Amino acid sequence: MAWFHKKKEEAPSCCGSCTPDAMAQAEAAKYTVGVKVLGSGCAKCNALEEAVRAALAELGMETTIDHVTDFAQIAAYGVMTTPALVVDGKVVSFGKVLKKEEAKFFLQRARAET
């Protein structure tokens, strides 16, 4: 009787991009030096990126900003609420669109700690 045998199913991944290889790459990317904005690319994420660009320009820091939209990479940072700001591998803000002055504060503080 085939009715009573449970069918073995593979565990579905959360979004298709959370493979073991993708997670390993995301973990390795966490420890790179630089500034990253984590988010889906929505208006809030773009507003945070613009504020960070203005703060970097005002501080005279020549740093590129990576905009990370891959869910596996965002999850590797432990961020559940976007947009988020990562400076030198450390999450310094999440779930809020920072103003230029706030971004300057977080950038200066993170760079002073290193």
No. of H helices and E strands in the chain?
4, 4
91 sits in which H/E element: strand 90-94
**Residue where the block lists tokens 């501080």:** 59
* pTM for this prediction: 0.73
Dihedral sign computed on CA atoms, order 12, 81, 52, 49: positive
| φ, ψ (nearest 5 deg) of residue 76 | -65, -25
Give catalytic status of residue 45 as yes or no: yes
pLDDT at 9 over 60: no
Enumerate long-range contacts of 2-11, CB under 8 Å, 24 or more apart: none
**Each residue's pLDDT tens digit, 19-73:** 777 666 666 666 667 899 999 989 999 999 999 999 999 999 888 899 999 888 8
CATH of domain 15-113: 3.40.30.10
Residue 44 confidence (pLDDT): 95
The catalytic position among 14, 15, 18, 45 is 45
Give catalytic status of residue 42 as yes or no: yes
Q: Where are the domains of the chain?
A: 15-113
Strand order in the sheet with 90-94: 65-68, 35-38, 84-87, 90-94
The strand pairing partners of 94, in sequence order, are: 84
